Amino acid sequence: MPHLDALETRPHAQRVAEQYARLPAQLAYAREHSPAYAQALAGLDLSAVTDAQALAGLPVTRKSALIEQQQACPPFGGYAAMAAGAASRVFASPGPIYEPQGPGEDFWRMSRALYAAGFRSGDIVHNTFSYHFTPGGFMLDSGARALGCAVFPAGVGQTEQQVMALRDIGATGYTGTPSFLKIILDKADELGIALPRLNKALVTGEALPNSLRQQFEARGIQVRQCYATADLGLIAYESQPGEGLVVDEGIVLELVKPGTGELVADGDVGEVVVTPLHNRAYPLVRFATGDLSAFLDSAGSCGRSNRRIKGWLGRADQTAKIKGMFVHPAQIHAIGPRHPALGRLRLVVERVNDLDHMTLHAESADSDAALRQAVADSLRELTKLKGEVCLCAPGSLANDGKIIDDQRPLA
């Protein structure tokens, strides 16, 4: 069976009609049960929100504002329709930003992306997303088990043990970042261990360069990618390489001019704004992810009829996703007060040997190795990622307001 269900192949006009028929009830539920939306949607005629233009008239909820809003109204900023104690789990993503997990077998709807990537009942999935703090591990875990797969909760790190488990358990599928899959396969080569059963992967959290995809395919591993967030779950997924990402059936996706709620023209790059249609636990409305993308005009070859986006085309703000983790400008700003000897700071993100690499450039009259190490420790503590530190002369960094300089190619 090439598709998970009939939703994927229904005529697109039917899809739009059915989604907008459902939308007013979801919006009304958010206003009735979420304190934040009781205020944001007060006085609006939600029964009239039955097309794209009407939806575009509603206020945008910005991910970039959640940290401050959650601090003012912990833990979810008033956006959840449940108390923290009623959630299945509560997670903390970098920021920190807190998210609830509501009820349901596949709360984040990840099974659709896994199915398109070739995962089926009876597969053994080696899941390398973290089960600690962030929901990534549970997102893929629940989606795989909803399909009838067995899951090995590998988590991150311990590369040699990862290889041994892949060999001993005979996992047929991998979920995680593409860079960590490369690290695992390189370690397997170093150890002289073959992994002949591993034949498919669903990757996310960072870019998948064509060069890296080709390396995986040369090993007999079919790799597909998806786009998901901790707040929203699955947003879009790949069915065939080079044909963009198919928008998930459980959301309404808009592209707006960054910093506004105004829709962009077809084909133009805009900020991804998402309204889930079924999530009663965390009923976000017009949630602006901060990511940029554009719609594709052409249909794919797989028979799925929903619209497609080009994938990740950058950030509307300076936030960067590095090794699957978001790094915010505020986290880099926070390094300065810890080290009075520092001036301007700029985090440069590059792609080196198909892996993300970050270097913090910090102005300082002091080039002492102890200071460099202390700054590196602060960088790792605040971002949860390891990076290099380059101390440079005062006044040498451009005074242009840029804190994160993401120099990675988009493909």
Q: Which long-range contacts (CB under 8 A, 24 or more apart) does 264-267 make?
A: 266/295, 266/297, 267/294, 267/295, 267/297
Beta carbons of 122 and 145 less than 8 angstroms apart: no
Q: Which two tokens stand for residue 268?
A: 């133009």
At 49, the amino acid letter reads V
3-state secondary structure of 293: strand
* pLDDT at position 254: 97
* pLDDT at position 312: 85
Per-residue pLDDT of the chain (411 residues; tens, 9 = 90+): 799 999 999 999 999 999 999 999 999 999 999 999 999 999 999 999 999 999 999 999 998 889 999 999 999 999 999 999 999 999 999 889 999 999 999 999 999 999 999 999 999 999 999 999 999 999 999 999 999 999 999 999 999 999 999 999 999 999 999 999 999 999 999 999 999 999 999 999 998 999 999 999 999 999 999 999 999 999 999 999 999 999 999 999 999 987 778 899 888 889 999 999 999 999 999 999 989 899 998 889 999 999 999 988 887 777 888 988 889 887 998 999 999 999 989 999 999 988 999 999 999 998 889 999 999 999 999 999 999 999 999 999 987 667 899 899 866
Query: What residue ranges in 73-131 does DSSP mark as E strands?
Result: 89-93, 97-101, 124-127
At 181, the amino acid letter reads L
325-406 has CATH 3.30.300.30 classification:
yes
* pLDDT at position 401: 61
* pLDDT at position 400: 65
Query: What residue ranges in 147-250 does DSSP mark as E strands?
Result: 150-153, 173-176, 200-203, 222-229, 233-238, 245-247
